[in-house]
Amino acid sequence: MATVASRVASAARAWRSTYRVSDYSNLLFLIPATVFFVGWQIYPIIRVFVLSFTDYKYLERNPPNFVGLHNYINALNDPLFHVGMLRAFVFTVVFVPLTILIPLVLAVLIDRVTNPWLSSFYRIVLLIPAVIPGPLVFVLWKWLFDFQIGPVNTILVEWLGIFTRQTAPQWLGGTPLSLPAVIIMEVWWGLGYHTMFFLAGLAAVPKDLSEQARIDGANEWQLFWRVIVPRLLPILSILVVLRFGTAMSVIDEYLIFGGFQRTSPTYTWTVYMYDLAFRIGDWLQGYAAAIGWLGAVVMMVFVVGMLYVFRSRD
């Protein structure tokens, strides 16, 4: 009498033996995902690429003309694109380290909490920002940073007396402080999410490894850099690459905190691209597409470089 296991195995063998390339019904199940992937990922990318070589103006009724590299040459000579890229880099260079290092330190500290209740409490508290919907986060931080009624300025002016009402910092509305304001909000928003990543990584670090290092005379600093960080490198690299991509292409927060003020540090290449495509004059979507592609290429170069730096050396 065949056991259940052997029956299952023989059925699997039978299924495998009858499965051939000609069994096309399997492809039916791939259609939804394929349609979505092609329709919402591949097609827009290709379409934008094609558009970038035309003079397509969205408000014009005439068909677009092929203009070759004209848009790219113009974009490379466009000071607004240059400064927009620079602003995005400034944001990225400040934001990415902060959004990685602060959660890393927090994760290491929480990982050492031995009381299970306390450990859970810390995790829950840290995760709160991550579960708040985006619009609510924006509303909350706009209120916090409000020049006249915001708690941040109230603390700085009335509690600490560092500023007067006239000299209080202006965090919102395209001022030089708009970028730090966005950075503070973004770091806070990602704090719990990133900390969880690192906590998951730390859970995979054998405890006896740390104990062994201590016995060998390693201090906490050495333990952190020589034992913990190397073990968390895969997570670190993923987060750095992911966050680099999101930081370079931020747009919503910039629009909400800085509007379309061209001198604002939040007027980056992404805002400029949107401005060109949907707001100014005839809506130069061909030109905006070229700017989008240039930005994407710049980001890809950096991402490939980072993947090379973080490549596995096992």
Partner 1 sequence: MKTPNQTDTNGTRPSLTRRQMLRLLATGTATAAAGALLAACGGTAPSTPPGSAPAQTTSRPLTPTFYQWIVDLHPSIPQVNSTFEGLNFQIAPVQGFGIERFVAEAKNQESTWDVYVGMTPFVEMSQLIKADVIEPWDDYIPKDVLDDFLPPIREECTVNGKLYSWPFLLDVIGMAWNSNLTDKAGITTVPTTWDEYLANAKQVVDSGAAPYGATYDARGWRSLAPFTHSMSTDVYTSEGLFDFTSEPAVEALILMKKIKDLANPDILNEGTTDGGVNNTPDEGAFAAQQVAYYTKYFNAPLRFAQTGGFSDKLQMAGLPRFANSQGGTVFWTTGACLFKYGKNKEKAVEYMRALTYNQQIWKDSIAGSPTAHPGQLPPYKSIYAEWEANKPEWMQPFVALVREQFERARAINNHPFGLTQFVIGKPYWEEYLTGKESDPRAALQKAKDAVAAEIAKAG
The least distance separating partner 1 from the CB of residue 295, rounded to whole angstroms, comes to 18
Nearer to partner 1, 100 or 183 (CB): 183
- The amino acid at residue 234 is P
Question: Using CB under 8 A, which residues numbered 132 to 151 contact partner 1?
Answer: 142, 146-149
The least distance separating partner 1 from the CB of residue 255, rounded to whole angstroms, comes to 6
When asked if residue 260 is in the footprint of partner 1 (CB under 8 A), the reply is yes
Q: Which residues pair with 66 in a beta bridge?
A: 54
Token readout for 243 is: 């966050």
Determine the size of the site formed for partner 1 (CB under 8 A): 50
Q: Using CB under 8 A, pick the residue from 1, 2, 5, 23 that binds partner 1.
A: 23
- State the Cα–Cα distance between residues 284 and 308, nearest whole angstrom: 36
**Vertex 244: Cα angle to 246 and 173 (nearest 5):** 55
Nearer to partner 1, 144 or 236 (CB): 144
Secondary structure (3-state) at 54: strand
Contact partners, residue 71, CB within 8 Å, separation at least 6: 52, 53, 54, 55, 286, 287, 289, 290, 291
Q: Using CB under 8 A, pick the residue from 119, 154, 237, 261 that binds partner 1.
A: 261
The least distance separating partner 1 from the CB of residue 81, rounded to whole angstroms, comes to 12
Evaluate whether 187 touches 98 at the Cβ level (below 8 Å): yes
- State the Cα–Cα distance between residues 34 and 48, nearest whole angstrom: 20
Instruction: Please give the C-alpha separations between residue 49 and each of 40, 81, 103, 237, 286, in angstroms, as whole numbers.
Output: 14, 18, 37, 29, 9
Evaluate whether 310 touches 241 at the Cβ level (below 8 Å): yes
When asked if residue 4 is in the footprint of partner 1 (CB under 8 A), the reply is no
When asked if residue 156 is in the footprint of partner 1 (CB under 8 A), the reply is no
Question: Using CB under 8 A, which residues numbered 191 to 250 contact partner 1?
Answer: none
- State the Cα–Cα distance between residues 205 and 295, nearest whole angstrom: 38
When asked if residue 154 is in the footprint of partner 1 (CB under 8 A), the reply is no
Contact partners, residue 287, CB within 8 Å, separation at least 6: 55, 71, 74, 75, 276
Question: Using CB under 8 A, which residues numbered 46 to 105 contact partner 1?
Answer: 55, 57-61, 74
Helices 269-278, 285-309: crossing angle, 10 deg rounding: 160
Q: What count of other Cβ atoms lies within 10 Å of the Cβ of residue 291? A: 28
Nearer to partner 1, 175 or 195 (CB): 175
The span of 24-32, 181-189, 205-213, 297-305 binding partner 1 (CB under 8 A) equals 24-32
When asked if residue 255 is in the footprint of partner 1 (CB under 8 A), the reply is yes
Nearer to partner 1, 30 or 204 (CB): 30
Q: How far is CA 99 from the centre of its chain?
A: 10
Q: Using CB under 8 A, pick the residue from 40, 43, 225, 278 that binds partner 1.
A: 278
The span of 169-177, 202-210, 228-236, 243-251 binding partner 1 (CB under 8 A) equals 169-177
Q: Using CB under 8 A, pick the residue from 52, 92, 99, 175 that binds partner 1.
A: 175
Binding site for partner 1 (CB under 8 A): 11, 14-15, 18, 22-28, 55, 57-61, 74, 142, 146-149, 165-168, 170, 172-175, 255-256, 258-264, 276, 278-284, 287
